[in-house]
Amino acid sequence: EAEVALVGRSNVGKSTLMRELTGHSFDTGGKPGVTREPNHYDWAPEDFVITDLPGFGFMSGVDEDLREEIKTEIVHYLEAYADNILVAVLVVDGKSVIDIIDRHSGPDEIPYDVEMFHFLRELDIPTVVAVNKMDKVDDEDERLNELCDRLGLYPPWKQWQEVIAPISAKKGQLEPLHEAVREHLHEQNRDDLF
């Protein structure tokens, strides 16, 4: 069955988004890193499954080895199912993503989010970055342009609306994400699914 995969750091609002998309309830605010297995759910009323991959990156109370292990599992999963994944949704927290990326950028360090974005593209998986918590961001355009810059996409962000989807999962404002996913499915001639 056709699949949309959801990846993102802990605490970006992945569970909240999953709940909005699927109507299932998810354990939000639970202990990060506990969801270890990819979980599959129907993205009603669309005709595909959405896979929630474990949160990666910094998780308080989770040691370095386990963190690396989780990341390796995510990478293996994506490699194994790349052909089946129609779209990947990389969820980031619009409020903190630039600070986090900049803090982890250096000569020997690539921030997780940036690394994941490039990895997905290397696997030829069409990727949408769902920039969540936009209800907490004052200057939307500036923030999204900065994000484009960090991801190696030439600003302004408005020309990347298939890639950059500003949303607020908590407020149920998800239209840019639906639009971007729809666009990717359309390009793959899978309009039947959405």
Which residues of the shown chain bind ligand GDP in the complex (CB under 6 A)?
A: 8, 10-16, 28-29, 32, 55, 132-133, 135-136, 168-170
Judged by beta carbon, residue 17 or residue 163, the one nearer ligand GDP is 17
Q: Which is nearer to ligand GDP, 19 or 150 (CB)?
A: 19
Task: State how far the Cα of 74 lies from the Cα of 82, in Å rounded to an integer.
Answer: 12
CB 122 to ligand GDP: min, Å: 24
Minimal distance, residue 101 CB to ligand GDP, in Å: 17
Nearest CB to ligand GDP, comparing residues 52 and 185: 52
Measured from the CB atom, the residue of 36 and 186 that comes closer to ligand GDP is 36
Residue 18: CB minimum distance to ligand GDP, A? 8
71/190 with CB nearer ligand GDP: 71
CB of 188 to ligand GDP, least distance (A): 27
State the nearest-atom distance from the C-beta of 32 to ligand GDP, in Å. 6
